[in-house]
Amino acid sequence: MAMGIESLFAWSLVILQGLGKPEKTKIAVQSATVRHNVMSMAREASAAPAAPFKRANRPIRGRRCFSLIAAAALTPVGTSAPGPAPIAAEPQLTLSQVVENLVQRNAERAKALQSYRGKRTYKLDFKGFHTALRAEMIVEITYTAPAKKDFRILSESGSKWIVKRVLKRLIDAEKEAQEAAIRAGVELNTQNYNFRSLERRTNAGGCGYVLGIQPKVPSKFLYRGRIWVDDQDFAVCRIEGEPAKNPSIWITKTEIRHNYQKFENFWLPVENQSVSSLRLGGRATLTITYQDYEITAVQPVKDNSASAGH
């Protein structure tokens, strides 16, 4: 079984050690209230044309008032003509149902993926301490089930120190992460995580389920944040989060963004990025991009659904 999305995330954080939001308030405005306010201002304008329109003791002048009036005029009311017949909503899954499908599908398709080849580009940019360092390494990878990965370095450029101390160590750590005990401790399932919330979003490119997750143990190998799940394949297609535990005293904050795409019947990473702010100043950005995937061997998979997490 290839290393999961959780393993790659965890070891990215470990490597970054070598470099040693208030919530937005949502305001809902009811259409009837908007209409009442706008009509009141219109009456004031008729009585005293020279005075500026007011709302909540603030002047609202010509163009803004016109926009409000136009918005109110376009707001549907109970007596308006009926619109198109509503489209029947799809059955809504509960949080537990989405999680159950996610875990089951991940296991099924992980078993189905027998081997693949591809290329990765590792880049690390460091800015701080009145200096800037950059390094890049291009690697060819071959995966063979259940847990073998062979890496061949094609090119290196930039800071030799970063290549040796960071990028090459990242590859070594990924090999180590193939051990069964390590994989089990970082997998995205109910043994390692609490799934706290579920949002259903439309027009999200198929990734309609957004789940809030919290690790059960505050480990630097796990993360908290949100995952986007494809509503057909139940595969993770996006991750945004931060480590459950600070991986180093020299790091004040780390932000993680991972993106996945479907290749044949499998969801594979296309870009991973970890941005760490250092306590003494500076920022380190680790980016891994994936290209040239070739699925070379598979087993039949139930429902021909997609795989996530390799």
Tokens 């993926």, residue? Answer: 113
193 vs 102: CA distance, rounded Å? 13
The average pLDDT across 134-141 equals 98
Verify that 58 and 165 share a domain, yes or no: no
Could you tell me what percent of the chain has a pLDDT over 70? 67
Verify that 103 and 181 share a domain, yes or no: yes
In this predicted model, what pLDDT tens digit does every residue of 231-281 receive, in sequence order? 999 999 999 999 988 878 888 999 999 999 999 999 999 999 999 999 888
Give phi and psi for 39, each to the nearest 5.
Answer: -65, -35
Verify that 106 and 184 share a domain, yes or no: yes
In this predicted model, what pLDDT tens digit does every residue of 49-62 receive, in sequence order? 444 444 444 444 44
Verify that 40 and 117 share a domain, yes or no: no
Q: Is residue 297 part of a domain?
A: yes
Verify that 183 and 282 share a domain, yes or no: yes
Range of the domain at 66: 33-74
Indicate the number of domains in the chain: 2
Cα atoms in the 13 Å half-sphere on the side-chain side of 180 = 2
In this predicted model, what pLDDT tens digit does every residue of 78-93 receive, in sequence order? 333 444 444 444 558 9
CB 62 within 8 A of CB 51: no
Please report the pLDDT score of residue 237 as a whole number: 96
Q: Is residue 87 part of a domain?
A: no
Residue among 113, 286, 309 at smallest CA distance from 227: 309
State the maximum Cα–Cα separation within the chain, in Å, rounded to a whole number: 81
269 Cβ partners below 8 Å, 6+ apart? 5, 8, 258, 259, 260, 288, 290, 310
Verify that 151 and 182 share a domain, yes or no: yes
The separation between CA 246 and the C-alpha centre of its own chain, rounded to angstroms, equals: 19
Verify that 242 and 161 share a domain, yes or no: yes
Q: Is residue 154 part of a domain?
A: yes
**What b/e string do you get for 186-225 counting C-beta neighbours within 10 Å, with b at 16 or more?**
bbbbeebbebeebeeeeebeebbbbbbbbbeeebbbbbbb
DSSP state letter for 167: I
Verify that 258 and 296 share a domain, yes or no: yes
Tokens 């259940």, residue? Answer: 146
Verify that 163 and 59 share a domain, yes or no: no
228 vs 239: CA distance, rounded Å? 6
Q: Is residue 82 part of a domain?
A: no
Q: Is residue 170 part of a domain?
A: yes
Verify that 62 and 101 share a domain, yes or no: no
